[in-house]
């Protein structure tokens, strides 16, 4: 279980290679990469996106999210990398990798990690347009709903 918060970019292929190096027990690796979109939902174009976070709490929350995924799914390895600072459209923001003996757990764990990260990890995005004042991105109710879905399943 590894979590990293960094300004530098990441290389998805290199991260998978490192996570699975020397192992023959892993049968499935699922990854999710989040990128900066060049436009807002309302159609305005974005020049840059700046990510602020709460040092210390961020790492704790990410580790907690990762531990919850390991409790829930038969994971053999996992990684969360989240970038901070100023990013441009097309840049990588976040990477999660989940490794498991079989595909279903890997797919589901990657989704679970993202759904929890989005509602728990203390990051905030600010978008700047070409000719407009930079604006903080509002939280989306759909992200809350996506996380709540996993909790609802606990009572099925």
Partner 1 sequence: MTDTDQQLANADKKNFETSASAITVKLVYFAWVRERVGKGEETLSPPSEVRTIADLMVWLGARGPEYADVFEAKKDVVRAAINQNHVPPQTSLEGAREIAFFPPVTGG
List of residues contacting partner 1 (CB under 8 A): 34, 51-54, 56-57, 60-61, 82, 93-94, 114, 117-126, 136-139, 143
DSSP-derived secondary structure for 67-132: HHHHHHS--SEEEEEEE-EEE-TT-EEEEEEEEESSHHHHHHHHHHHHHHHHHHS-EEEEEE-SSS
Rounded to the nearest whole angstrom, what is the least distance from the CB of residue 75 to partner 1 in the complex?
19
User: Based on CB atoms, which residue is closest to partner 1, 74 or 124?
Assistant: 124
Rounded to the nearest whole angstrom, what is the least distance from the CB of residue 136 to partner 1 in the complex?
5
Rounded to the nearest whole angstrom, what is the least distance from the CB of residue 156 to partner 1 in the complex?
25
Relative to beta strand 77-83, strand 123-128 is: unpaired
User: Based on CB atoms, which residue is closest to partner 1, 72 or 126?
Assistant: 126
User: Based on CB atoms, which residue is closest to partner 1, 138 or 154?
Assistant: 138
């Amino acid at each position: 279980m590894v979590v990293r918060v960094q300004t530098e970019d990441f290389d998805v292929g290199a991260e998978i290679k490192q996570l699975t190096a020397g192992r023959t027990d892993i049968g499935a690796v699922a990854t999710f990469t989040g990128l900066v979109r060049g436009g807002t939902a309302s159609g305005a174009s974005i020049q840059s996106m700046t990510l602020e976070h709460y040092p210390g709490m961020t790492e704790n929350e990410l580790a907690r999210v990762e531990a919850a995924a390991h409790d829930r799914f038969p994971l053999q390895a996992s990684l969360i990398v989240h970038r901070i600072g100023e990013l441009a459209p097309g840049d990588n923001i976040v990477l999660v990798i989940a490794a498991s003996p079989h595909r279903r757990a890997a797919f589901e764990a990657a989704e679970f990690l993202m759904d929890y990260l989005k509602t728990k990890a203390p990051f905030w995005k600010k978008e700047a347009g070409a000719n407009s004042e930079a604006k903080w991105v509002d939280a989306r109710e759909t992200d809350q709903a996506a996380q709540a879905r996993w909790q609802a399943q606990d009572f099925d």
